[in-house]
Chains A and B, each alone.
Chain A
Amino acid sequence: MPNPLSPIVPILDLLGRELKILPATGGAVEDLQHPDQEEIEDVVMTRGDEQIAAFSETPEPDVSNIYKPTPPLFRQEKHLFRFFIDGSIRSYFLATGIEGTRSFPIELAQVGATVVRREDTGQVNVYSHKQKVLLLLPKQNQGISDTLWDKLRKIGKPDFLEIIDFTLPDALSDAKRDPRDKAGAKARSEMHKLEIELIESTDTARNEDTWLILDGSVKFVEEDIWESWKSRSSPHLIGVAKSFRKDPMFQFGQRPSQRKDITGILAGLPHAHRTAAFSADGGKIAFWYVRLREQKELDYPLMGVVKVEIPRPDLSPVPAELADLISRVLVAERNVTPYGLDHRWHCSLYPTHIAEQVIKNRFYSKDVLMGCIKWPKP
C-alpha cells in the first residue's frame, strides 16, 4: 500500500533542491499545543470585551442576583443538542529553510473537524468529517521567493494537501510574532474553516429542537457564516468553551463597588446554576457561565464551569427561558466525563470529546509522515 502522504515528496524534493535545508531533529518535531490554546484564542477573539457592562437577556436580570438555578434536564426529557462539532490540529516542525539571507520554518500540520450526531438512544455517529494536510511556508519578504512559490504551486497535489502562506493576515496568526507560532495559528485558522464548512453541512438539519454545540467560541474569523445567520432568527447553535479568558471585569453600575471580576462571579456560582447572559462584540454574542459540577468535587473554584456563547446576529438579547433551557440541558451533559484522558474533564462534554477522538484517530501517524520526509543530501 503506497504511503498516503507520498504526494508531499515532490514538494519537499523541490524545496530541498532550491533551499538550504536544516532538518529538524529526527526528521520532524511535533509542536506541542499550548495547554490553554482556547483561552489564548478567546483573548484574541474577544479583544475589546475586557469590560462587560451590559446584559443580553430579556427580561433584564436583576443586578443583585445574577445567578439562576438550572437543574439538569436530561436527554430523555428534552433532546435538544443533537450535533457536536470539534476541530483538532497536529503540527510538526520539519526544517529551517534558508533562501538567500532569509531563513524561515517549514511546518506541516494536519487539521481536521468532525460533527457527530447523537441518536435517540444516546449513541453517537459521525455525521461528517473533513481533514487536510497543510504545508505551511512564509511567502513574504521573510520567506520563500516568488519564483520558488510559483514552482511549488505548479506541482500537482491531491485535494487534501495544501500549501499555505502563513504570513497572510488573519486574526489568530496576526497576534503572533514568532514565525513558528504564526504557522501554528494559521493552521488553527484553517481548522476553523473546516469547522465552518461542517457547521454549514448541518444547516438544513438544525432547527429549534435540534441544536449544535461547537467546542469553543462562536466568534469565527470568517465573517461569511455570520452573514448567513442573519437570515435566520437563530442559528440554533451555541459555543461551549472549557477554557476562557480570566481577565474580564463586569461593571453592574457606576460605583467601583459594583465592579466584579470573573473569579468572584464564578466562585459564587452554585452548582447547576447559570449567570445572567452578558453582551459581547457589540451585542452580536450573548454569553453566560454555567456550573456543571459542584465545587466540592474540584480543586479550584473556576473548575467545572463552562462559558456558553450564543450568536445573536440580529443583536437581540437572548430570552431568559432559552438561556435557562440551554443551561439545564448542558448541566445534564456533565456525564460521561473523560476523566484521566483530558485535564479539562470537569467541563468537557463527552460527545465533543468523542468528535475530537474521531479526528485524532484519523490523523496520519508520525511514522507515516516520517516515511515521506526525505530531504536531499547536501
Chain B
Amino acid sequence: MNEAKQVEAIGKTSATDRDPNTSDKFSFWLAPGVIVNPFDIVQVEQVSHEGKSETFGLVTILEHRTDSPTHLANFISSDFGELAEEPNTPRQGTTVANANVLSNSKDIYMPVSSDKVVNFADEAGIQVALGIDTMKAADRIPAGLIMMSNGVAAVAYIDRRYVLGPESAHVNITGISGLATKTSYAMFLIQSILQKTPQEERDKIAVIILNVKHGDLLQIDQRPERGLSVEEMELWERLGLEPKPFDSDKVHYFLPRGRDGLPNCFYEPSPHNVYAYDLENTADKLDLLFAQVPDTYFTQESIISEIREGIKNREPDFRNVHSWDNLLNEKPLFDPQTHSAIREWRGIKGSSIGVFRRHIRRMIKTTQSGVFVDGLHAHEKVLSDEILKIRGGHVYVVDIARLYEHEQMLVFGDLLRTIYKLKAEPPEDRETSPPEKIIFFVDELNKYAPKGERTAPLTQNVLEIAERGRSLGVILVSAQQFMSAVHPRVTGNCATKIIGRSGSAEVMSTDYGFLDKEIKSNVTRLSKGELLLSHAVYRQPVKIRFPRPAYQQQEA
C-alpha cells in the first residue's frame, strides 16, 4: 500500500506566513515532472481522533513560482534580453497548486498541515470526496465522468433525491451556443435518470421535451445513422448506461400546424400529432400571447380578462364570437355594421381596444406560422388536452422550432399551465392517476423567464414550477446561453447546475457567485464536451465529460 501511495504521490502541502492553509483551502507544490490540472481531485493525510483521516481537495488553479523577485531580474538573467541565452543552472522554481477542500473522510476540517504528501485521489477516493459514498446505490444517477490528469476516472453520481425531489429538484444548464452542448447533456441526463430508475418507478415518470431548434429532438427514438465511435461507446459503458435511443413505442411527437395544414417542422417524425390553436381553446391563454407586450396600465390585461370570461361563460356579448376572425371583426370589439371601432366597451376606451386588436391581428393573422386556426381539423389536436392525458414511462416531444416567438411563448406557457394543472388538480375524467414525476425540458429559458423587474404572467408560471414544482413532482430541466439573463429565482431553485464554456464577462455576473474566482476562470477554458457540474451534495463543482446522445441528431 505504501508503494502504491508513493507511485501516486505528486507533491507536498505548503503553508506559508502569507499563504496559509485554511479549513477551506490548501496549497501544495508539485514534484518535478508531475502533471496536474484544474479540477483534479487530490487527497492528503489529516489528523483524526482515532487513527488518521484523509482530506480531499479540488485543484482550482496552478501557479509557477520562481525565486526571481521581478521580471526585470529574469530579463537580466537572460543576459539583458539575449533570446538565445540558456543558463547553466535553470532558475529555481516550482509549480504550486491551490486546492479547495472538498471533504474529509472523518469530517475533520482542521487546516491541512504543511509538508504532508499529496496524492492523486483514486476512484474510491473521488467518490468519498464528493459524498457519493453516502448516497444509496438506488439514488445514484450517473451525471458524467470525472477524468483526472493521471488517467484515473470516476463516475460523478448525483443524488436522485436532489434531482427529482423530495430534497430538492430541477436542473439548469448554461453555456455558450455550440460549445456547451446543453441540449445533448440534458438528453443524456434524462436518459440516465430513466435508465437508472427501476421499471416500476420509471412507469411513473413522464418526460416532456420542447424542441426549440432544427429537428434536434425529433428523432430521439432513432439510432444514429453514423453510429457512435468506440470512445463514445466506452464512455457510455463506463457510466454504466446503455447507448440506446428512447423507446419508439413510448415517444410521442407533437408538431405545430403550418399554413398549408401540414406539420410546420424541420423534420417530420413518424408517427406524429399535429396541434393547433383555435379561439375557443386559446381564450384562457391569451395572456401568454401578450407576454412581451408592454402593458403599463394593465388595460390589455383587462381586455384579455373580459374576453376570457366572456367566452368561457358564453356571455351575450360573445354570442357571435367563435373564431379569431369573429374576435377581430365582430362585436364586442368591432362594429361590423358601421365598419368602425367601438368607442367604449365595459369601461375600456376604444383606443385601448384598438391596440389590442392590432396586436391580435399581428399575432394571429399577419405574422403567424399557421398554428392559429379558426376551426380545428379532425386530426388537429388541442395540445393541452393531449398533455392532460400523458402517461408515466412515456416521452412527449413538442416541436416549436419554426414558430414565431409569441407562438412559442403561448405553447410553452400552455404546457406549463397544463402540467401544473394536471399535478395540482388532476382532471376528474382521467382513468389513471397522473405520473408521479413529470420532467419538463426546455431550452432558451431566458425567453420565458427573463431577468427583470417586471414579472410577466409566463415568467410567473415558470417561477411557480421552479418554486413549487418539487412538491408537485414537476421537475424543470432548463437550459440557456446566459444564466445572467434568466430570472434568478428560477436558477436559484435548481439544485443541480451544469455550466459549459462561458465568456468571462458572463461568469463575472452575480449569478455565478456560487463559483470561486479561480473556478470561474476555468469556465472560460472548458472545451466542447466538458462541463462543470455543481450539485447540492458536492461541496465544490467538478469537471465532467459525457457521451454523445445515442439517437439520430439533425445537423444544423
A335-349 interface bits toward B, Cβ cutoff 8 Å, 1 = contact, 0 = none: 111111100010000
Partner of A340, one of B73, B89, B91: B73
Which residue of chain B has the shortest Cβ distance to A337 in the bound complex?
B77
Q: Do residues B89 and A351 form an inter-chain contact, with CB atoms below 8 A? A: yes
Q: Given contacts A123-B32, A341-B67, are A336 and B90 in contact (CB under 8 A)? A: yes
Inter-chain contacts of B91 with A (CB < 8 A): 336, 350
Q: Do residues B92 and A335 form an inter-chain contact, with CB atoms below 8 A? A: no
Inter-chain contacts of A122 with B (CB < 8 A): 87-90
Q: Do residues A334 and B67 form an inter-chain contact, with CB atoms below 8 A? A: no
Query: How far is it, in angstroms, between the C-alpha of A345 and the C-alpha of B77 when the chains are bound?
Result: 10
Inter-chain contacts of A335 with B (CB < 8 A): 77-79, 85, 87-88
Question: Is B72 among interface residues, defined by CB-CB distance under 8 A?
Answer: yes
Inter-chain contacts of B514 with A (CB < 8 A): none
Q: Do residues A333 and B88 form an inter-chain contact, with CB atoms below 8 A? A: yes
Question: Is B51 among interface residues, defined by CB-CB distance under 8 A?
Answer: no
Q: Do residues B80 and A354 form an inter-chain contact, with CB atoms below 8 A? A: no
Inter-chain contacts of A354 with B (CB < 8 A): 89, 92
> Which of A75, A122, A336 has the most CB atoms of chain B within a 10 A radius of its CB?
A336
Question: Is A130 among interface residues, defined by CB-CB distance under 8 A?
Answer: no
Which residue of chain B has the shortest Cβ distance to A354 in the bound complex?
B92
Q: Given contacts A123-B32, A357-B67, are A339 and B77 in contact (CB under 8 A)? A: yes
Closest CB of chain B to A266's CB: distance in Å? 21
Count of chain A residues near B, Cβ 8 A: 23
> Which of A74, A340, A341, A357 has the most CB atoms of chain B within a 10 A radius of its CB?
A340
Question: Is B351 among interface residues, defined by CB-CB distance under 8 A?
Answer: no
Question: Is A297 among interface residues, defined by CB-CB distance under 8 A?
Answer: yes
Query: How far is it, in angstroms, between the C-alpha of A118 and the C-alpha of B90 when the chains are bound?
Result: 10
Inter-chain contacts of B80 with A (CB < 8 A): 297
Closest CB of chain B to A126's CB: distance in Å? 12
Closest CB of chain A to B30's CB: distance in Å? 14
Q: Do residues B69 and A341 form an inter-chain contact, with CB atoms below 8 A? A: yes
Inter-chain contacts of B86 with A (CB < 8 A): 74, 76
Closest CB of chain B to A353's CB: distance in Å? 8
Query: How far is it, in angstroms, between the C-alpha of A74 and the C-alpha of B86 when the chains are bound?
Result: 9
Closest CB of chain B to A140's CB: distance in Å? 42
Query: How far is it, in angstroms, between the C-alpha of A122 and the C-alpha of B86 when the chains are bound?
Result: 10
Inter-chain contacts of A118 with B (CB < 8 A): 88-89
Question: Is B76 among interface residues, defined by CB-CB distance under 8 A?
Answer: yes
Question: Is B68 among interface residues, defined by CB-CB distance under 8 A?
Answer: yes
Closest CB of chain A to B301's CB: distance in Å? 71
Which residue of chain A has the shortest Cβ distance to B66 in the bound complex?
A336
Query: How far is it, in angstroms, between the C-alpha of A122 and the C-alpha of B69 when the chains are bound?
Result: 21
Which residue of chain B has the shortest Cβ distance to A121 in the bound complex?
B90
Question: Is A124 among interface residues, defined by CB-CB distance under 8 A?
Answer: yes
Inter-chain contacts of A124 with B (CB < 8 A): 89, 92
Question: Is A225 among interface residues, defined by CB-CB distance under 8 A?
Answer: no
Which residue of chain A has the shortest Cβ distance to B76 in the bound complex?
A339
Query: How far is it, in angstroms, between the C-alpha of A350 and the C-alpha of B87 when the chains are bound?
Result: 10
Question: Is B70 among interface residues, defined by CB-CB distance under 8 A?
Answer: yes
Partner of A334, one of B32, B79, B92: B79
Which residue of chain B has the shortest Cβ distance to A352 in the bound complex?
B89
Q: Do residues B73 and A339 form an inter-chain contact, with CB atoms below 8 A? A: yes
Closest CB of chain A to B93's CB: distance in Å? 10
Question: Is A332 among interface residues, defined by CB-CB distance under 8 A?
Answer: yes
Inter-chain contacts of B77 with A (CB < 8 A): 335-337, 339
Q: For window 40-90 of chain B, which residues contact chain A by CB distance below 8 Å?
A: 67-70, 72-73, 76-80, 85-90
Query: How far is it, in angstroms, between the C-alpha of A298 and the C-alpha of B72 when the chains are bound?
Result: 15
> Which of B85, B86, B89, B90 has the most CB atoms of chain A within a 10 A radius of its CB?
B89
Query: How far is it, in angstroms, between the C-alpha of A122 and the C-alpha of B91 when the chains are bound?
Result: 10
Q: Do residues B89 and A338 form an inter-chain contact, with CB atoms below 8 A? A: no
Q: Do residues A74 and B76 form an inter-chain contact, with CB atoms below 8 A? A: no
Q: Do residues A340 and B70 form an inter-chain contact, with CB atoms below 8 A? A: yes
Q: Given contacts A340-B70, A357-B67, are A75 and B88 in contact (CB under 8 A)? A: yes
Q: For window 112-163 of chain A, which residues contact chain B by CB distance below 8 Å?
A: 118, 122-124
Inter-chain contacts of B68 with A (CB < 8 A): 336, 340
Which residue of chain B has the shortest Cβ distance to A297 in the bound complex?
B80
Q: Do residues B72 and A339 form an inter-chain contact, with CB atoms below 8 A? A: yes
Closest CB of chain B to A329's CB: distance in Å? 8
Query: How far is it, in angstroms, between the C-alpha of A337 and the C-alpha of B76 when the chains are bound?
Result: 7
Query: How far is it, in angstroms, between the C-alpha of A334 and the C-alpha of B88 when the chains are bound?
Result: 8
Closest CB of chain B to A116's CB: distance in Å? 9
Query: How far is it, in angstroms, between the C-alpha of A11 and the C-alpha of B32 when the chains are bound?
Result: 43
Partner of A123, one of B70, B78, B79, B90: B90
Inter-chain contacts of B70 with A (CB < 8 A): 339-340
Inter-chain contacts of A74 with B (CB < 8 A): 86, 88
Inter-chain contacts of A351 with B (CB < 8 A): 89
Closest CB of chain B to A119's CB: distance in Å? 10
Query: How far is it, in angstroms, between the C-alpha of A339 and the C-alpha of B69 when the chains are bound?
Result: 8
Q: Do residues A340 and B72 form an inter-chain contact, with CB atoms below 8 A? A: yes
Query: How far is it, in angstroms, between the C-alpha of A341 and the C-alpha of B91 when the chains are bound?
Result: 13
Closest CB of chain B to A172's CB: distance in Å? 30
Which residue of chain B has the shortest Cβ distance to A84 in the bound complex?
B89
Closest CB of chain A to B71's CB: distance in Å? 10
Q: For window 161-219 of chain A, which residues contact chain B by CB distance below 8 Å?
A: none
Q: Do residues B89 and A336 form an inter-chain contact, with CB atoms below 8 A? A: yes
Closest CB of chain B to A67's CB: distance in Å? 21
Query: How far is it, in angstroms, between the C-alpha of A341 and the C-alpha of B68 when the chains are bound?
Result: 8
Query: How far is it, in angstroms, between the C-alpha of A297 and the C-alpha of B92 when the chains are bound?
Result: 24
Query: How far is it, in angstroms, between the C-alpha of A350 and the C-alpha of B70 when the chains are bound?
Result: 16
Query: How far is it, in angstroms, between the C-alpha of A332 and the C-alpha of B87 when the chains are bound?
Result: 8
> Which of A123, A335, A354 has the most CB atoms of chain B within a 10 A radius of its CB?
A335
Closest CB of chain A to B120's CB: distance in Å? 24
Query: How far is it, in angstroms, between the C-alpha of A354 and the C-alpha of B89 when the chains are bound?
Result: 10
Which residue of chain A has the shortest Cβ distance to B69 in the bound complex?
A340
Closest CB of chain B to A367's CB: distance in Å? 10
Query: How far is it, in angstroms, between the C-alpha of A76 and the C-alpha of B92 when the chains are bound?
Result: 19
Which residue of chain B has the shortest Cβ distance to A350 in the bound complex?
B89
Closest CB of chain B to A364's CB: distance in Å? 15
Closest CB of chain B to A62's CB: distance in Å? 31
Q: For window 247-288 of chain A, which residues contact chain B by CB distance below 8 Å?
A: none
Query: How far is it, in angstroms, between the C-alpha of A297 and the C-alpha of B87 when the chains are bound?
Result: 18
Query: How far is it, in angstroms, between the C-alpha of A339 and the C-alpha of B67 when the chains are bound?
Result: 10
Closest CB of chain B to A278's CB: distance in Å? 27
Inter-chain contacts of B67 with A (CB < 8 A): 338, 341, 357
Inter-chain contacts of B76 with A (CB < 8 A): 337, 339, 345
Query: How far is it, in angstroms, between the C-alpha of A367 and the C-alpha of B67 when the chains are bound?
Result: 24
Partner of B88, one of A332, A339, A340, A341: A332
Closest CB of chain B to A12's CB: distance in Å? 27
Q: Do residues B73 and A337 form an inter-chain contact, with CB atoms below 8 A? A: yes
Q: For window 316-343 of chain A, which residues contact chain B by CB distance below 8 Å?
A: 332-341
Query: How far is it, in angstroms, between the C-alpha of A122 and the C-alpha of B87 when the chains are bound?
Result: 9
Q: For window 277-318 of chain A, which residues contact chain B by CB distance below 8 Å?
A: 297
Query: How far is it, in angstroms, between the C-alpha of A75 and the C-alpha of B85 when the chains are bound?
Result: 12
Query: How far is it, in angstroms, between the C-alpha of A375 and the C-alpha of B455 when the chains are bound?
Result: 74
Inter-chain contacts of A345 with B (CB < 8 A): 76
Query: How far is it, in angstroms, between the C-alpha of A334 and the C-alpha of B72 when the chains are bound?
Result: 16
Inter-chain contacts of A340 with B (CB < 8 A): 68-70, 72-73
Query: How far is it, in angstroms, between the C-alpha of A135 and the C-alpha of B28 when the chains are bound?
Result: 36
Partner of B87, one of A336, A339, A341, A357: A336
Which residue of chain A has the shortest Cβ distance to B70 in the bound complex?
A340
Closest CB of chain A to B97's CB: distance in Å? 20
Beyond the given pairs A75-B88, A340-B72, 7 more chain A to chain B contacts, judged by CB atoms under 8 angstroms and listed by A's residue number, are A123-B90, A333-B88, A337-B73, A338-B67, A339-B72, A341-B69, A350-B89
The 8 listed contacts between A and B (C-beta, < 8 Å) are A74-B88, A123-B89, A333-B88, A336-B77, A341-B67, A350-B88, A350-B89, A350-B91
Lowest 9 CB-CB distances: which A-B pairs, in order? A340-B69, A339-B73, A336-B77, A335-B87, A75-B88, A340-B73, A339-B76, A336-B87, A350-B89
